[in-house]
Amino acid sequence: MSDLQERPRYVRTRVQEHVGWLEFDRAPVNAFEWTMVRQVSDALDAFEHDATVRVVVMASALERYFSAGADLDTFRDLGEAGMAEWCELVHRIVGQLRSSTKPLLAAIGGVAVGGGLEMTLHCDVRFAARDARLGQPEVNINFIPPVGATQALARLIGRPRALRYLYDGELLSAAQAQMLGLVDEVVEAGELRQRVQGYARSLAAKPPEALAAIRRSITIGGATSFDEGLALERGLAISLAGTANFREGVQAFLEHRPPRWVL
């Protein structure tokens, strides 16, 4: 048996109607260890380079848990050198998520804490089941969330709310998370996948260059000064003007017909 066959698979991937689903699948609670983290990174790379995938969804294959955070057995004797390696690996995932050219959605169900929940902070739209519970309890083990959450939260919900959320380390209901700005839409648990797939399908039908430019302008430009972000926006607008889909979009509008995008 090959090494690939012997290696456990903790991340499940599938493509449905040009929507790539990346699902955490390490029973019983989706606790992250080295192999699982690397497989998340590999799956993101595969979807980024798959031309048939136009939208990516992060989800869980387990019904009751989205993520339990890091498997603390992994941290038991880690030390500073080991933590440096861990941070390098998870920060690579942060970079992949932030630099993705495709819309990223999150379908959050069950208990969602720690690193898996942190990854959703770098997604564009987060959907949560009404019975989901979300939180970052790292303070309770004398730690901080290391998958870019401190930086994402400060930008997403603002410094005061981010500090309070991480100081408290408590679980929030989906409704509370939505009020805080951690979740964009709350749906019934039985409707979560259908709702996310439907929204993803609508995005997959849009011109990919425009989606990528919107994402880059806001995600990357929003982390720079206003003038730097404006320069990025200008460059992207100029680049889009040279595409066949821009010409098609303008022509279709003038002819009062649906555009025929090159996808």
Max Cα separation, the chain?
66
Q: Which residue has the tokens 């109607």?
A: 17
Neighbours of 223 (CB within 10 A): 12
Planar angle of CA 112, 118, 124, nearest 5 degrees: 100
pLDDT digits (tens, 9 = 90+) for 154-192: 999 999 999 999 999 999 999 999 999 999 999 999 999
Per-residue pLDDT at 6 exceeds 80: no
Burial class (CB in 10 A: 0-12, 13-18, 19+), 126: buried
Is there a contact between 55 and 63 (Cβ–Cβ < 8 Å)? no
Residue 7's pLDDT band (cuts 50, 70, 90): confident
Per-residue pLDDT at 111 exceeds 80: yes
Structure tokens at 116: 């898996």
Residue type at 31 in one-letter notation: A
At residue 1, the pLDDT reads 36
At residue 123, the pLDDT reads 98
Spans of all domains in the chain:
3-204, 208-254
Structure tokens at 40: 């998340």
pTM of the model: 0.94
3-204 maps to CATH 3.20.20.10: no
When pLDDT is averaged across residues 219-227 and rounded to a whole number, the result is 95
Dihedrals φ, ψ of 138, to 5°? -60, -30
At residue 3, the pLDDT reads 44
